[in-house]
Chain A
Amino acid sequence: MKPTLATLINILVPVKRSIDYAVKIRVASDGKSVDTNVKHSMNPFDEIAVEEAIRLKDKSGEHVDSITALSIGPAKAVDTIRTALAMGADTGIHIVTPENTVIEPLSVAHAIKAIVERSQGTDKKFDLIIMGKQAIDDDSGATGGMVAGMLRWGQGSFASKVVIEKGGKVQVTREIDGGLEAIESQLPFVVTTDLRLNEPRYASLPNIMKAKKKKIENLKPEDLGLDFTPRLETISISDPPKRQGGAKVENIQELVSKMKEAGVI
């Protein structure tokens, strides 16, 4: 056991197992879900979050103690935690939910809050959360801000650069409409990652093997007093209106006359 030092940072990285970004999704025949019998992987923004946590630890090893990957979802979500461990996270926590349960951002935020609160007073107290700015399935982009609000922590959304100084000073460059914004804060803090933050590494085979030995704690929502009853009822999921495209033209003249016809020039 390491001694508890006020300056030692423990990072929590929530990761989500979602349909692979390259898969063309299909609406299921029930009209209320999408076909999930397809390739899944870690949400791309969460990969960036894991990578950033590892880089912070590498860069400032003496004041980052540990990285914990957290996932909330069915049994298979453990694969996503293993991926994070293979990239370089130290331990995992899996809040296991029954297959096909809808877990809303608000529920996830409550779960993350409960995990953070449980860590208070232990020698692995979380003081930095790094997570994706949005999941590419639900596209809400809600969870990071919700957690920061619930915990009353500072937050840096859409981060393209993160610097944590000794003593807990945080500097974040954020992507905003029209450019970039620099902010300054202090731990405890929530970062949500934008695409430009870093280029995530691939896990090497030896690291994948090593990750199998790393510890993953299994929890049930009840263990933390969590209730995942949805507040939003899915009425329907449907295909977007189909666009009539596919008309090719032979040459520039034809292109220009089509533009004229449409009244755009």
Chain B
Amino acid sequence: MFRSALRALKPKFATTQSRHASSLVFLEHKGGKLSDASLSAVTAAKSLGNDTHGLVIGSKSEVEGVLEQAKKINDLSKVYSAVSDSYSHVLTETVAPLLASITSSKDISHIFAAHTAAGKNVFPRLAGLLDKSLIADIIALEPSGDTFTRPIYAGNAILKVKSSPKDDVKIVTVRTTAFDKAATGSGSASVETIDTASTESPTKYVSEELTVSSRPDLASATRIVSGGRALKSKETFDRIMDPLADSLGAAVGASRAAVDAGYADNSLQVGQTGKVVAPELYVAVGISGAIQHLAGMKESKMIIAINKDPDAPIFQVADAGLVADLYEAVPELVKEIGKAKA
């Protein structure tokens, strides 16, 4: 049954890839702005040396603004745009078939997205539709275009895999902290509009509820202060962590324990099952440093830990660790940072 299904899906171009095949990057946007995460995916795509194209989808008004930004990405030679109100909220049931049809009609050898909530939602379905592997969350790739490196076991092992010619389209999501953002400003990509056949989706968008914050976005922040279980309550979490974040111009993150206990919002969770971050500075306050948390932050450039347990595993990765009661140490640290900056 499965074999015959495979035969039916037999690729149009056989084992060797077309010489002119190009890479396509799914470009995300929010609030009229191209996402930084997608710019990292462009850098990964460009490293193959192929022609690199982008794709912008959304409602008419969304696409108009973002297309102008996408055209200026230095590394892109072409940007496809697909306009439909049904793309507005990136429902995988409508977007994955669109990507599948572009991939097969435009001679695409590699399709990339950032390993964000949207990329993680759409790309597995795309892989299912095309009957190809998904190579998720890569941190490196080789110019040959078939060899990829990705973390497994919460980042405790690094896997290098070679994709077989059977997967004649490589479907890849990119760990954004592992690739620099592509430069923008001097690009002049051409634009091609994709005709959109309406896909019947059983699923409809209803609403969204976003956590509003005046602080930098966690995933792209250059500084992060993160709190754990030791913060005891939402009130003390905010009372201790907010001034520290303000003093450093940092985003606030949290361990799973803090999130589960309701001290911080789910969207702030750093770790294997939350966000993976790699800021210049990561300050872990009252976080023991479980494997799952370390998976989300151990690529940070400088890690500072404040914990009263001298044996907490977080100290094994911290560049500077202070064994102290956070309730005394953090306010004092805020004061000292203020002095140092003055």
Q: What is the interface of chain A, defined by CB distance below 8 A to chain B? A: 19, 21-22, 24-25, 27, 34, 104-106, 109-110, 113-114, 117, 134, 136-150, 153-158, 160, 171, 175-186, 189, 194-196, 224-227, 230-240, 243-249, 251-256, 258-260, 262, 264-265
Contacts and interface: CB of A to CB of B under 8 A. Distances in A.
A27 B204 CA distance: 44
Contacts of B135: 232
A147 B128 contact: yes
B153 A181 contact: no
Given A144-B124, A237-B152, A255-B322, A175 B267 contact: yes
A246 B157 contact: no
A236 B131 CA distance: 25
A262 B298 CA distance: 17
A138 B159 CA distance: 9
Given A155-B203, A247-B320, A146 B124 contact: yes
Nearest to A260: B340
Given A186-B202, A259-B340, 9 more contacts: A145-B128, A154-B93, A154-B203, A180-B208, A182-B205, A185-B202, A225-B1, A234-B159, A238-B157
Contact of A237 (B118, B125, B158, B223): B158
Given A106-B131, A155-B125, A160 B136 contact: no
B157 A224 contact: no
Interface string B139-182: 00000000100111111111111111011000000000000000
B273 interface: yes
Contacts of B201: 154
B161 A233 contact: yes
B206 A249 contact: no
A254 B323 CA distance: 12
Given A157-B121, A224-B2, A248-B323, A232 B163 contact: yes
Nearest to A185: B203
Nearest to A250: B322
A240 B336 contact: no
A172 to B, nearest CB: 9
B210 A178 contact: yes
14 contacts: A25-B157, A139-B150, A144-B124, A145-B125, A149-B127, A175-B117, A182-B207, A194-B273, A227-B2, A244-B319, A252-B329, A252-B336, A253-B336, A264-B281
Nearest to B163: A232
B332 interface: yes
Interface stretch (B62-70, B104-112, B310-318): B310-318
A181 to B, nearest CB: 4
Interface of B: 1-3, 30, 89, 91-93, 96, 116-118, 120-129, 131-137, 147, 150-164, 166-167, 201-211, 217, 219, 223, 248, 256, 260, 265-267, 272-273, 275, 280-281, 291-292, 298, 301-304, 310, 315-324, 329, 332-333, 336-337, 340-341
A139 B154 contact: yes
B318 A109 contact: no
Contacts of B316: 243, 245-246
Contacts of B131: 106, 150
Contacts of B124: 105, 141-146, 148-149
Given A233-B164, A234-B161, A265-B248, A246 B125 contact: no
Nearest to B292: A21
B315 A248 contact: yes
Dominant SS at the A interface?
mixed
B322 A175 contact: no
Nearest to A157: B121
Residue from A110, A140, A177, A224 having most chain B Cβ neighbours under 10 A:
A177
Contacts of A232: 133, 135, 161-164, 167
A154 B298 CA distance: 36
Closest A-B pairs by Cβ, 4 of them:
A145-B124, A149-B128, A146-B128, A179-B210
Contacts of B329: 252
A237 B159 contact: yes
A150 B291 contact: no
Contact of A34 (B30, B157, B272): B157
Contacts of A181: 89, 205-209
B1 A105 contact: no
A105 B125 CA distance: 12
A24 B337 contact: no
A232 B204 CA distance: 35
Contact of B157 (A146, A157, A182, A240): A240
B127 A25 contact: no
A186 B5 CA distance: 26
A176 B118 contact: yes
A84 B339 CA distance: 57
Nearest to A144: B124
B337 A246 contact: no
A259 B204 contact: no
A131 to B, nearest CB: 12
Contacts of A114: 1-2
A179 B158 contact: no
Contacts of A154: 93, 201-203
